[in-house]
Chain A
């Protein structure tokens, strides 16, 4: 059963909710512009993004003096795009996919490989073919390096990518056996890359190669299908497995509906996924216009990056100097979310795991820096309570209304309501 579409025209709180989830947050004016519109039209418009980027990005990773500095500049560049880019939903999806097809920059350690990987996530952000997306990820030098498939050779299998392809990228645990992992690794032998290896070549462009002489051409059996399977076959079989529809739909619900997704709603999306053969655009279009989406307010704890970017966008995208932005990217890391560098290949679990004493303290410090500090950006029009909390009458509304601009904005940013989307 597909998800039931929302039938009412959007209210102000509906519009605020939509923009908190799909654009990290928005100004009062941006919210009001959606009031009265149809949910389907709003979802389609938000998903109709192109690949244009924010003008004037101050960060260029190619100018990094060391691999570490270059990767840090890359994180700054992404934070700038997240905060000021023309297509926040594309960036939200790229962030979501970076937490699905996980790589870690400290292992990849090559600037063009990381840039290509991020552009791949943007290009496929609302992909029409999850199979195609997965194949391109599997052949990206960043992933080949991160999960060691560049070392996966005939007779000397390395199972790292083969395992995570099933466990984390497609079917999830329970749908496969250890034998499938081994056979998948054999099928993926020979996929590697040339160039860009080593600490000195961190600016050199690596390139995918299929080393056929390193490929195990023998017969394999993978998820019940047998033959002289190749890497492409493994990706096709894994992505079209029924468990993949549910497993990846659940992650989309996790990103857009709730920290604890509702199984019936996930099944609705999985049905659409199966019917459209992994057309993520179709799944998202339905999802973002559904009753379930609009009924799910305040059920996601914002991640550190969502908190920071949400703050900047809710404040009307005030100009923040490059050094401070770079510091903010580092602060996101101290709050548990280094862009393109989750602790493990499983990615960030999110939800309540974002919250502990230290991260709460840091969120309060960031909020103070954005609103009360000596270098805080100018706020001509302080954000409305609707923009800050998503509610016209949030908890503590009377108290907040009695405060002046900066103080009200500061307290709202550290309120439980702002931590949620």
Chain B
């Protein structure tokens, strides 16, 4: 913990000096280093894992879901027992090339069926829900650079919360620039220099950071020429922005993207089918773009949802909140295949699958073997998981 304390001391000093923060950032940025990027994809609302990676040889699956099960004939077979949802067809090439991994049966102890409590657990990597900072926020503090991790979207998820930093959220790279009216630059600079405390000091810091971040992005993104055609969805346009930031070499180590709407309590088939189509279309375009740009060896994608859904369908052709679920990862740096064993659908906990792999073990692999960071310091403990990095 001495690192963290030193860091806090350093940032307190930097904040006290009027022009300290930018200098401090400049120093920190040199430490960020590294050329590998991790893209985290959040499926918000509780994606149904059983209808994503389907146990098509299991009669219990079809018995529990007479209305919403994916028929065997539609499944994209990946093993003798498992197959992908048909909407994920654009990802099949990655599977065939050995670069798509499924982590089966992932969860955490004492699962929480609340969207928000469970999402907070995935964001903080803390099932006791004692921490407020996110696991990616802690990466940024470890690296010492608030710009090493960015969210693409309007609101910053808790995963990117840090005690001292405000990590950037970039809604659109094109609009990510500051233009003050003529003659206002100097007065604005003076205004920000007035001493402040409390939330006003926080806002001053956030504004200064924004000014620095926007300048940094705009200097660099001009270099990017898209190498793929992206579908016309918000999700895909955010992935295109992710590719631009990576191609620009702005220095992000972690980029965060979300796709919402997975809370399928009713009429699940239509809803989830559409969402998985959006997901696979965006992700496959992103991968194609990276390959064209020659960046594919440096980028991996890891996806999760806050929980899976109940094994049995409910009376509204939907599913209620469940527990464990699948995670996925892909990229040239990923060891493809199914990691871990499928859930036993006849040995359930309150109607839900029992998890067998802790998500923190999956995170640890990305932290240690992809980002080359000390996972223990970030996750607050030692977690081992599947060896899904190639």
Contact = CB atoms under 8 A, between A and B. Distances in A.
20 contacts: A148-B266, A155-B315, A156-B314, A158-B314, A159-B321, A178-B350, A343-B155, A352-B202, A356-B166, A357-B176, A358-B172, A358-B175, A359-B169, A361-B178, A361-B210, A395-B194, A399-B191, A407-B187, A411-B188, A416-B196
B184 A298 contact: no
A336 interface: yes
Interface string A362-387: 00100010001000000000000000
B206 interface: yes
B169 A358 contact: yes
B154 A334 contact: yes
A160 B188 contact: no
Contacts of A352: 166, 199, 202
B181 interface: yes
A356 B194 contact: no
Interface string A26-68: 0000000000000000000000000000000000000000000
Contacts of B333: none
Contacts of A259: 199
Q: Pick the most buried of B116, B154, B177, B196: most chain A CB atoms within 10 A of its CB.
A: B154
B206 A355 contact: yes
Given A259-B199, A346-B115, A358-B176, A156 B170 contact: no
B194 to A, nearest CB: 4
Contact of A157 (B156, B178, B314): B314
Contacts of B168: 356-358
Contacts of A334: 154, 171
A346 B260 contact: no
Interface in B158-195: 166-172, 175-178, 180-181, 183-184, 187-188, 190-191, 194-195
Contact of A298 (B175, B200, B214): B200
Nearest to B178: A361
A336 B153 CA distance: 9
Q: Pick the most buried of A155, A163, A360: most chain B CB atoms within 10 A of its CB.
A: A360
Given A334-B171, A361-B176, A395-B191, 19 more contacts: A151-B265, A151-B266, A151-B315, A156-B315, A158-B266, A173-B117, A336-B155, A343-B44, A344-B45, A353-B156, A355-B202, A355-B206, A357-B209, A358-B176, A360-B210, A368-B181, A395-B195, A396-B194, A420-B199
Given A160-B320, A358-B175, A411 B184 contact: yes
Contacts of A414: 188
A158 B309 CA distance: 13
B316 interface: yes
Interface in A140-156: 148, 151, 153, 155-156
Given A158-B315, A357-B169, A403 B187 contact: yes
Contacts of A372: 181
A343 B260 contact: yes
Q: Pick the most buried of B167, B209, B260, B265: most chain A CB atoms within 10 A of its CB.
A: B265
A151 B267 CA distance: 11
Q: How large is the interface on B (under 10, 10 to 19, 20 to 34, 35 or more residues)?
A: 35 or more
A258 B354 CA distance: 41
Contacts of B45: 344
Contacts of B206: 355-356, 360
B10 interface: no
Nearest to B212: A357
B16 interface: no
A415 interface: yes
Q: How large is the interface on A (under 10, 10 to 19, 20 to 34, 35 or more residues)?
A: 35 or more
Given A148-B265, A346-B115, A357-B170, A419 B190 contact: no
Contacts of B213: 357
Contacts of A356: 151, 155-156, 166-169, 206, 210
A355 B166 contact: yes
A411 B198 contact: no
A169 B200 CA distance: 31
A356 B318 CA distance: 36
Contacts of A178: 113, 350
A400 interface: yes
B131 interface: no
A314 B213 CA distance: 31
B207 interface: yes
Given A298-B200, A396-B190, A358 B154 contact: yes
A159 B351 CA distance: 14
B200 A173 contact: no
Contacts of A355: 166, 202-203, 206
Contacts of A93: none
A416 B207 contact: yes
Would you list the 3 A-B pairs with minimal beta carbon distance, nearest first? A156-B315, A395-B194, A416-B203
A301 B199 contact: yes
Given A158-B266, A344-B115, A298 B198 contact: yes
A410 interface: yes
A420 B199 CA distance: 8
Contact of A301 (B114, B203, B320): B203
A223 interface: no
Contacts of B155: 336, 343, 353, 356
A345 interface: yes
B352 to A, nearest CB: 10
